[in-house]
Structure 1
């Protein structure tokens, strides 16, 4: 009969069609898996574009090195992606060696812009002028820097999570003012180091002490005998009646250990009893362990930090991530304040992205831009960091009433001391140095 097929010929035709359709579907699914389509295991449905950020730090230089910061960023990305990403977005972290130079800092910033980073997160650089300008032109926020340059606390596109060197020095002055009649400050002979004596002096003044002796030192020297001699002479020591204590505080980053080696040799020869001090980042638990612990040169030293001591239980989530996702990367030390800062900065990033997805911005968007991140950082009422910092907010009403460093929204520091080779808290909780920073004389801008 015309127009009809024999059933015996239809069945093979249908079978062939089904095979072709199944093969096409399998190919499409395979292609989707290969390309990723922006979907992660555990993601809350939908296809969302990856989020790219950058973390930079100096590595392999003759001065301060912070290799743990980019390493921590990579470990954080592995952890968050294994758990569904940031609100369903895969987190891509690109890293850059800042090389402790203006050229390196500018190059890293330009690379972040070129590679589409929506933020620079948890990074270290002393060269604020070099890196902030390219970021500002492109509208890319600088979230959670180490605080080594004033630009981090002045630029409207910078969102610090700690008070930087400014808070540490002001706090160190407050801490030393209780016990020290005379203080010598040994600091880098750099633009970034020029503002440190004023900040330390402001803290000392609150305790009725005189400004510190300012001892400049190269930040990459292998011997500091000359500077140690000056510091010891300026600080003095106990008099015959046990009063008039002198103190020496050194803030030289990686070279702080080298300075105190030189200092202790002089102190031994002169039989001087001088208390030593520093700030976290120049002296930390890794250095104490490496230099003999309770038998080392830092026993009894005062140290001012930003965060709770490394043994505090509030760091347990970070330690768990390091154990599971750092793959025995020995660059990452959970007691390193650089690593800690990077962890806190990425904690903030996670809150911001989740807030955008939950209605803080346009929750119908599959992609997140730098302007989205900036807008949410400016809008959000407060970010919790598990007690590692106070609640963080960069809204105008939370700015510091000072011209030079208004964006120090976290003015808290911790007072610590070395006992039995371990950094322990001198007192419970945080110390707010906001008033000390406001009262410090204007320093201009450095970095």
Structure 2
């Protein structure tokens, strides 16, 4: 006899136990125990930062809009059933705090930073790059937002605004003065405005630097008027002739209202400049607070990124605000910061919904965007995508994919479109050559 052994029954018993376990997991009965309910899927965390409560430009509506967007998404079923968790950070218009906000995004395991405002790109972009976190829909103040491969801008930033403003004013103004912040972010604005003016065959603007947190801008207003030809030694008629076709444009964020208070007082001793033009900084709330139809801003031209505030394409955003943030007075639907946040989160939601629920991370979000995921913003911008070949060829602004602007004017106390549709600044921006 060979003495062959009978097969052991242990493998059979193990297989039976495994089968019972699998059946238990599916029917939760039949094996002497009831399994607990599955834990709820963890939320998807993102971050939004902006300065609040500072003496300079504040953007409290951006984090407030982010929170409202999250409430709307979560009230509509979430992202594949997972909740969207928005963490906010006060950037305080401070370089150190901007870096801390970026570090906190890493600590919170944020899959993206969305719809945020900061003039300290050098401080926040490096920590985000180290952590691999994409920056979607920043306000567009800094060059870093337009040259970092981790940044996905939804507009052309200040570059498109200034170049567009120059083109807009060139058709109406013989001489232009620019009043802008005396900051690193503000230093590039004159060159950009001049690019637009040159495209319209006008001379460079008179550059007036101004502190971004001043309570009075009389000195800067006087300098602007002198820069476009005001001369108190001339008679009234001669001064009027000298100032014919002169324009002053200001880019001082929410200090623009303060500047125009000073400008109006200084104008009492000078013939009035034909057009006082501001960009981006002009909001319907500023027109309302300065007199509506009788506002000194009546007739002011403005360049924006998006359709005018009365455009019906904003209705979905306004509905979300009225439903999920109706009592939050920080949110102004006509503010470009609020609007940029809405568009940034529209991009985020589109990308997240394209991913598997169990495969959402900073890496997969970034990969989807880099692979050319296309986002329809309901006509508020052209279709947005950041794949290879989608970016424009603009020196120092290699991440721009949308160079469209809109021309607007204050008419009868309302900020309305001058012309239908967008004006593409891509070709003009390609002529921009920053000084060394």
TM-score normalised by L of structure 2: 0.88
Q: Name the structure 1 match of 2:289.
A: 290
- Tell me, in whole angstroms, the C-alpha distance in 2 between the residues paired with 1:107 and 1:233: 43
Q: Are residue 382 (structure 1) and residue 374 (structure 2) matched?
A: yes
Distance across 2 between alignment mates of 1:314 and 1:242: 43
Any unmatched runs of 5+ in structure 1? 1-19, 39-48, 358-364
User: Post-superposition shift, 1:388?
Assistant: 0.2
The CA deviation at 1:367 is 4.0
Give structure 2 stretches of 5+ with no counterpart.
1-28, 231-236
Residues in 1 aligned to 2:194 and 2:173: alpha-carbon distance in whole angstroms:
12
Alignment of 1:360-439 (within 5 A): 366-439=358-431
1-structure distance, mates of 2:340, 2:215: 28
Cα distance in 1, alignment partners of residues 121 and 379 from structure 2:
28
Task: Give 1:345-360 correspondences, 5 Å limit.
Answer: 345-357=344-356
Deviation at 1:327, TM superposition (A): 4.0
Number of positions where the alignment pairs a residue of Structure 1 with one of Structure 2: 399
Flag the 1:320–1:243 CA change in 2: closer, same or farther, 3 A: same
Q: 1:91 maps to which residue?
A: 84
Match of 2:202 in 1: 209
Taking the aligned partners of 2:338 and 2:394, their CA distance within structure 1 comes to: 29
Deviates more, 1:411-420 or 1:230-239: 230-239
Q: Deviations over 1:236-263 (max 9, x none)?
A: 3696669841000000111111111111
Distance 1:151 1:199 in 2: 16
Q: Residue in 1 aligned with 2:93? A: 100
Match of 1:114 in 2: 107
Quote the residue 2:264 is aligned against.
Answer: 264
Tell me which residue corresponds to 1:80: 73
Picking from 187, 191, 196, the partner of 1:194 is 187
Per-residue deviation, residues 247-297 of structure 1 (Å, max 9, x unmatched):
0000011111111111111112223233111112x1111111111111112
Match of 1:175 in 2: 168
* Structure-1 residue corresponding to 2:305: 306
Structure 1 residue 68, shift from structure 2 partner: 0.3
Contact map agreement 1:229 1:266 (CA 8 A) in 2 = yes
Residue 278 of structure 1 corresponds to which residue in structure 2? 278
Q: Quick one: distance in 2 between partners of 1:190 and 1:437? A: 22
Counterpart-to-counterpart distance in 2, 1:262 and 1:122 = 32
Measured in 1, the distance between the counterparts of 2:196 and 2:244 equals 18
Determine if the alignment matches structure 1 residue 233 to structure 2 residue 226: yes
What are the superposed Cα offsets for residues 186-223 of structure 1, whole Å, 9 maximum, x if unpaired?
00000100000000000001111000001000000001
CA offsets, 1:14-48, max 9 Å, x none?
Answer: xxxxxx99xx86x945xx6xx6x12xxxxxxxxxx
Residues 263 and 241 from structure 1, CA distance in 2 versus in 1: closer, same or farther, beyond 3 angstroms?
Answer: closer
Are 2:247 and 2:273, in contact at CA under 8 Å, matched by a contact in 1? no
* Equivalent in the alignment of 1:60: 53
Local SS of the residue matching 2:111: coil
374-383 vs 149-158, greater mean Cα deviation: 374-383
1:236/1:274 contact within 8 Å kept: no
Contact 1:236 1:245 in 2 (8 A): no
CA distance in 1, matches of 2:36, 2:243: 81
Counterparts of 2:224 and 2:145, CA distance in 1: 30
Which whole-Å CA distance do the structure 2 matches of 1:125 and 1:244 have between them? Answer: 38
The normalised TM-score by structure 1 is: 0.86
Q: Secondary structure at the match of 1:86?
A: coil
Task: For residue 396 of structure 1, give the secondary structure of its aligned residue in structure 2.
Answer: coil
Report which stretch shifted further, 81-90 or 224-233.
81-90
Partner of 1:361: none
Structure 2 CA distance for aligned equivalents of residues 412 and 243 of structure 1: 31
Deviation per CA, 1:63-121: give whole Å up to 9, x if none: 00000000000001011001111232210000000000101100000000111000000
Q: Is the 8 A contact 2:195 2:431 kept in 1?
A: yes
CA distance in 2, matches of 1:200, 1:243: 20
Offset at 1:393?
1.1
- Looking at structure 2, the residues matched to 243 and 56 of structure 1 have their Cα atoms a distance apart, in angstroms, of 43
Could you say what secondary structure the match of 1:398 adopts? coil
CA deviations on 1:115-173 (whole Å, 9 max, x unpaired) are 10000000000000000000000110000000011100000000000011111000000
Counterparts of 1:248 and 1:242, CA distance in 2: 14
Residue pair 1:50, 1:367 contacting (<8 A) in 2 also = no
Residue pair 1:170, 1:199 contacting (<8 A) in 2 also: yes
C-alpha distance in 2 between matches for 1:298 and 1:216: 21
